[in-house]
Amino acid sequence: MTKATIKKWGINGEGIAYVNRKCIFIPGTIPQEQVEFHIVEEKEKYGMGKVDKILVESKDRRHEICKDWDTCGGCSLMCVQYKAQCRMKEEIVKESLAKYANYRNKIKHIIKNPDPLAYRNSCKLPFGYNKDHKLCTGMYKRDSNEFVKMDRCFTHAKQIENVRIEIEKIVQDEKLYDKKLKRGYRTLVLKEFDGKIQVIFVTGNNAVPKRIVDACSEIENVVSIWQSVKTDTNVEIFGDVMIHLYGTKCIEMTLKDYSLSLLPKSFFQLNTKQAIQMYEYVREITPQSKCIVEAYSGIGAISLFVHDKAKQVIGIEYIKDAVENAKENAIKNKIDNVSFVQGDAAEIFNKMNTKADTLIVDPPRTGLKEKMIRSILHSNVKTLIYISCNPSTLAKDLKDLSKKYFINSVQPFDLFSQTSHVETVVLLSRA
């Protein structure tokens, strides 16, 4: 066992200690704490540690909220006071931009989450068996395949938790997915908007019995039920076959002045209130333009928010259902200068890069593809707004973009309270 003082935050919310000048990442620890730990993994340049005892606690530590946070691993900052979580996120963005993009100017203070608990509008939980061999939802222990039943999640919206617990009662005698038989229940996905819930059972080749659909449809606030048949092992949450079982196909949401629809496979930000704040901010910093392209546009929310900032707005998204939603959302909101194209953002933007004077990108965690960066560098885009949920890939992409673009402002948003994730909006101009 080794004793050390935690010096700073790591990018995934672990504390960092230095032993013989080697950086050791120790999850569940906070800067300034003195800890006893042992090494679980040793690499040439760094190590991973497991804390055995906190000898001196940080004043930023808290204990009272979730008893399962350490087992679950979903909320690595649940043990940290909310104010300190926000400071940590600001620090992470600042450090990433300094380290990879050589950007050392001020970043703006993070826009805090008004509801740091009960904010998640969706959940994707594996099914498993509880101690009495009844089907239930839960999680896998951090870094393991061991299933643990979930009693209560403090970050899920209240309606999600209510519906999840009711569904557990209804399906308790059903069978868990069996890889050989390719039958049974795999995952429960719930989405909540405006208090209404969409339920999606991810299963093998078995049907979801009518009595189960009927009972679920009776649960208060459930407006839509789907089944997704998935028998492969890829990382996608849903299989190719989607069966609509009850209620409306889409779930509806109101985002400020807009009404939007969402099919199960379409992406939407998991914190609705903060998404609205972020979209309003993006609108605020978007200049009046001839043509705005929004790459990675999902169901088109940002395109709708900025529609009056340009003659023409074009969204690019590769999920077919999301593009279908985006097109309908534009029609439903009577916005006729916005259109959506289905396909790979890099491929499509490459063909239209001379048209856009403003580009908004909101890529997945992996960041922009090389082809997309090349295409941006060869474009006529004067203003680039980069929305990112991963400070590392953001900073690396900004370094590549710095050949032609300089950073005007960096605004972090807390969309994922209790976790180390942080959303950042960067405004860039062509040099």
Ligand X SMILES: C[S@@+](CC[C@H](N)C(=O)[O-])C[C@H]1O[C@@H](n2cnc3c(N)ncnc32)[C@H](O)[C@@H]1O
251 is a contact residue toward ligand X (CB under 6 A): no
268 is a contact residue toward ligand X (CB under 6 A): yes
237 is a contact residue toward ligand X (CB under 6 A): no
414 is a contact residue toward ligand X (CB under 6 A): no
- 389 in active site: yes
Q: Which of 4, 87, 75 is nearest to 16 (CA)?
A: 4
Which listed range, 15-23, 122-130, 262-270, 333-341, lies at the site for ligand X (CB under 6 A)? Answer: 262-270
The annotation status of 362 as a binding-site residue, yes or no, is yes
Which listed range, 26-34, 38-46, 119-127, 261-269, lies at the site for ligand X (CB under 6 A)? Answer: 261-269
Which listed range, 104-112, 167-175, 208-216, 292-300, lies at the site for ligand X (CB under 6 A)? Answer: 292-300
Closer residue to ligand X, CB minimum distance, 6 or 425: 425
Q: Smallest gap, in angstroms, from Cβ of residue 120 to ligand X?
A: 15
The annotation status of 400 as a binding-site residue, yes or no, is no
Query: Which listed residue (267, 340, 405, 413) binds ligand X by CB under 6 A?
Result: 267
Q: Which of 75, 123, 136, 389 is catalytic?
A: 389
269 is a contact residue toward ligand X (CB under 6 A): yes
The annotation status of 317 as a binding-site residue, yes or no, is yes
Q: Smallest gap, in angstroms, from Cβ of residue 374 to ligand X?
A: 14
Q: Are 123 and 187 in contact (CB under 8 A)?
A: no
Q: Smallest gap, in angstroms, from Cβ of residue 361 to ligand X?
A: 9
345 is a contact residue toward ligand X (CB under 6 A): yes
Query: Which listed residue (147, 296, 386, 405) binds ligand X by CB under 6 A?
Result: 296
Which listed range, 7-15, 63-71, 296-304, 413-421, lies at the site for ligand X (CB under 6 A)? Answer: 296-304
Residues contributing to the annotated binding site for S-adenosyl-L-methionine: 269, 296, 317, 362
**Interface with ligand X (CB under 6 A):** 267-269, 296-298, 301-302, 316-319, 322, 344-345, 362, 364
Catalytically active residues are 389
